[in-house]
Amino acid sequence: MNIKFASTLLLFGALLGPVGVYAADTSTDTTGQYLDDASITTKVKAAFAEDKWVKGRDISVRTDHGVVDLTGTVNSKVESNRATELATKVESVRAVHNNLTIAPR
């Protein structure tokens, strides 16, 4: 093998090597689990939108294996507690982590 060809292969491998590493999916979620979590997130957001006490505009909802994480800002402790209550009532929710902050007045 000539040196120029070997150098080209080495450079090509060095450039494409990291792509293969980063492109690999290292998560353990199955497609079904991902869809279940997405469905839970959608249902929690819908519950917030329909509730007269929880505005839901500044609440981010993330679900992982049925565990719901709430982050963002609400106007009061009552609204924070209500968000937790609504999320807990959604089918298939295993736990709710309330990381909401109360907006200063």
Question: What's the pLDDT tens digit per position in 48-100?
Answer: 999 988 877 789 999 999 999 999 999 999 999 999 999 999 999 999 999 99
What is the pLDDT averaged over residues 29-50? 88
Please report the DSSP string for 14-74 in residue order: HHHHHHHHHHS------HHHHHHHHHHHHHHHHHHHH-SS---TTEEEEEETTEEEEEEEE
Band of residue 14 on the pLDDT scale cut at 50, 70, 90: very low
3-state secondary structure of 101: strand
pLDDT beyond 60 at 13: no
Q: Which amino acid does the sequence have at 94?
A: R
Scan for tokens 């839970």, then name that residue.
40
Structural domains in the chain, CATH included, are 27-102 (3.30.1340.30)
Which residues are 61's β-sheet partners?
70
Length reported for the chain: 105
Provide the 10 A C-beta neighbour count for residue 64: 15
